[in-house]
Amino acid sequence: MDSVQTYPCAERLSLVEQVHGCTVADPYRWLEDSSTAETERWSRDQDDLWLTYAGTLTSRFRWKNRVRQLSDVGSVSTPVWRGGRCFTLRREAGGHPILFVDETPLLDPKQLDPTGLTTLDAWQPSPDGTKLAYQLSRGGDERSTLNVLDTATGELIDGPLDGCRYSPVAWLPDGSAFYYVRFRQVRRHRLGDPDDTTILDREASYGLELSADGRWLTICTTTDLWFADLTTDEPPAHLPQDTTTIMSVGPDNRLYVVTASGIGIGDPAQPTLWREYIQPEGPLTGLAILDDVVLVATASQIAVHDRETGARQSAIDLPGFGSVGSLTSDGNRAWFTYTDSVTPPTVYCYDATTGRMTGTASGGQRAETQRLSYTSPDGADLELHVIGNQGGPTILYGYGGFGQTLTPTYSAFALAWVEAGGAFVTATIRGDAPHRESTKQQTIDDFIAAAEYLIAEGWTTADQLAICGESNGGLLVAAAITQRPELFAAAVSSAPLTDMIRYELSGLGERWTSEYGSVKDPDEFKVLASYSPYHRVTDGVKYPAVLLTAFGNDTRVDPLHARKMCAALQHATASQRPVLLRFEPDAGHVTGGINLAADMLAFLADQTGLDR
């Protein structure tokens, strides 16, 4: 289906505002309020439009079955050892995650809520393994409540404590209390006590670390660091820093300091005096301090270093070019996950005493990841990771923000596409690690340059090239189609930010000014206005086919961004390709699962010719 005869009526307001002396039009401001009769009517009409189009995609059911088959691989987390007990999160093929202690099921979210809408967001055992702090949310909204249970009996012994969205938990050694983040403040909670002690009342996103002996507490944000000796009554000391710094006191009672430039080591009694220790070969993703060595993990490598000197000794021999994650340790052993384009996440164990690694990769599809180099317009050398065949329908995927690392990972979505004859390409662009420092326009330019490279080198054509991204990647996709629409046949922008002039006013936008900048600053406003996708939509342009996806329980990115972008594109486009909005009322941030993946694949296959 190449065209939509008519789009739902959407009134264009003559709303114009002056911001720092610049004129900003916002014709679809009314779509920000989801509760009005006008927005509800428009949304129902968009639902009907999507369902009508989706009904023409006869391949949806085939895609759904194949994605389900490729997803049913099961998983197990790296073990967390506490008090001689082993905690793991396991999911059998076709099942849901269950937390085990040793070989006994401890926490099953579906037993707590048979509807399956409750999610186990995070969990942290006490040092002696007798208690478990865990966080639950419902419907994908990520508004976690924290509870504590007895690991021997499974009985609830504290909670629920609300306002604990992805809170770190730092237990005292005896398990009587813990430090955590509630309502974005650092607090100490003693089990059974209804009143917390507030440690830092300034609202922020905090990380917490407590030394094994319970003496040294470190608190960090992206811009600040505090360090406390809990044997004194002194409040946490604010430490000056020039860059993002993470401090932690290791099991050897040495202070480990992680900055963008490397790892330092020192004495916790003098936290501002430390020396250079290890220089990782890429952005650090994990650090494990074993009895004899220190393991330093980057996105696709684990290096072994001498614990005393920090000198590099060797690297763990990984199964291939993929991604390393979830590094945990106990004594002289460490566990980590490995995944690549065709290998589901698999747990491996490295024994530093013998130097041996154990673990069995899951059998699966065979597809080689090719690494291609290309150059951005300003001369930056970047890389593409490609699976699939050259010369046909191709999906280009990107993210480009928050220092995220994009190395090959297992994706049922990508494998299903490649099996059907397409190619799937991941662009490593600035904004991702290791290219953290960049402007958003550089990130967009990098992504566009990747598309141009794929076309110029014969990997695909503009009529067969689709782009895809979610969250910050959804913003990237929306920006790319408004700046270079002729390069793409289709685009999927999932849970995107699109109105960058007003992004701070909804969802978690006000917490992201360090990534995007703030409209309150005149210079940063000009940058935001220059690439804001919603404001760059132009009447009469032939835009590619666009599928915007949004989620009713998304507390990070409000669906208003997708609604406003959809209305703007439907009004403006001069092409015969459809602009559609797919909305899931009961899902959270990019949590649509197999049905969403199947719909996206069917849409992209229809628009790029893979299904023909």
CATH number for the domain spanning 392: value is 3.40.50.1820
Task: Read off the tokens for 77.
Answer: 């987390």
User: CB-hemisphere CA count at 13 Å for 402?
Assistant: 12
Across 290-419, the runs of DSSP E, i.e. the strands, are 293-298, 301-306, 312-315, 323-330, 333-340, 343-351, 356-358, 370-375, 381-388, 394-397
Residue 255 is assigned to a structural domain of this protein: no
Residue 185 is assigned to a structural domain of this protein: no
pLDDT value of position 436: 53
Q: At residue 435, does pLDDT exceed 60? A: no
User: Which of 308, 336, 361 is at the close of a domain?
Assistant: 361
Considering only CA atoms, which of 50, 47, 26 is closest in space to residue 578?
50
User: Which of 297, 326, 361 is at the close of a domain?
Assistant: 361
List Cα–Cα distances, 518 to 204, 243, 403, 531, in angstroms. Answer: 17, 20, 19, 14
Gap between the Cα atoms of 177 and 188, Å rounded: 7
Q: At residue 445, does pLDDT exceed 70? A: yes
Confidence band (pLDDT; 50, 70, 90) for 454?
A: very high
pLDDT per residue over 116-126, tens digit each? 889 899 999 99
Verify that 297 and 401 share a domain, yes or no. Answer: no
Confidence band (pLDDT; 50, 70, 90) for 360?
A: low
User: Which of 316, 341, 361 is at the close of a domain?
Assistant: 361
Gap between the Cα atoms of 194 and 59, Å rounded: 55
Considering only CA atoms, which of 581, 585, 496, 471 is closest in space to residue 117?
585
Considering only CA atoms, which of 351, 222, 211, 338 is closest in space to residue 286?
338
Mean pLDDT, rounded, for 71-82: 91
Gap between the Cα atoms of 127 and 383, Å rounded: 42
Verify that 435 and 318 share a domain, yes or no. Answer: no
Verify that 370 and 354 share a domain, yes or no. Answer: no
362, with CB counted inside 10 A (0-12, 13-18, 19+), is middle
Residue 146 is assigned to a structural domain of this protein: no
Verify that 304 and 410 share a domain, yes or no. Answer: no
Confidence band (pLDDT; 50, 70, 90) for 405?
A: confident
Task: Read off the tokens for 18.
Answer: 């002056």
Domain that holds residue 357: 280-361
For residues 293 and 279, the answer to whether their CB atoms sit within 8 Å is: no
* Residue 229 vs residue 438, higher pLDDT: 229
Verify that 346 and 371 share a domain, yes or no. Answer: no
Residue 464 is assigned to a structural domain of this protein: yes
pLDDT per residue over 250-275, tens digit each? 999 999 999 888 999 999 999 989 99
Gap between the Cα atoms of 164 and 542, Å rounded: 46
Residue 312 is assigned to a structural domain of this protein: yes
Verify that 400 and 527 share a domain, yes or no. Answer: yes
Verify that 465 and 578 share a domain, yes or no. Answer: yes
CATH number for the domain spanning 308: value is 2.40.10.480
Verify that 447 and 460 share a domain, yes or no. Answer: yes
> Which residues make Cβ contacts (< 8 Å) with residue 272, sequence separation at least 6?
239, 240
User: CB-hemisphere CA count at 13 Å for 608?
Assistant: 33
pLDDT per residue over 533-562, tens digit each? 999 999 999 999 999 999 999 999 999 999
Gap between the Cα atoms of 238 and 223, Å rounded: 11
State the pTM of this model: 0.88
Structural domain count, the chain: 2
pLDDT value of position 244: 67
pLDDT per residue over 503-538, tens digit each? 999 999 999 998 999 999 999 999 999 999 999 999
Confidence band (pLDDT; 50, 70, 90) for 73?
A: confident
List, edge to edge, every strand of the sheet that includes 131-138. 118-125, 131-138, 145-150, 156-161
Verify that 407 and 529 share a domain, yes or no. Answer: yes
Mean pLDDT for the chain? 92
Residue 463 is assigned to a structural domain of this protein: yes
Verify that 417 and 558 share a domain, yes or no. Answer: yes
pLDDT per residue over 165-202, tens digit each? 889 999 999 999 999 999 999 999 999 999 999 999 99
Residue 382 is assigned to a structural domain of this protein: yes
Q: What is the CA radius of gyration of the chain?
A: 25
Gap between the Cα atoms of 612 and 244, Å rounded: 50
Verify that 392 and 444 share a domain, yes or no. Answer: yes
Verify that 351 and 415 share a domain, yes or no. Answer: no
Residue 104 is assigned to a structural domain of this protein: no
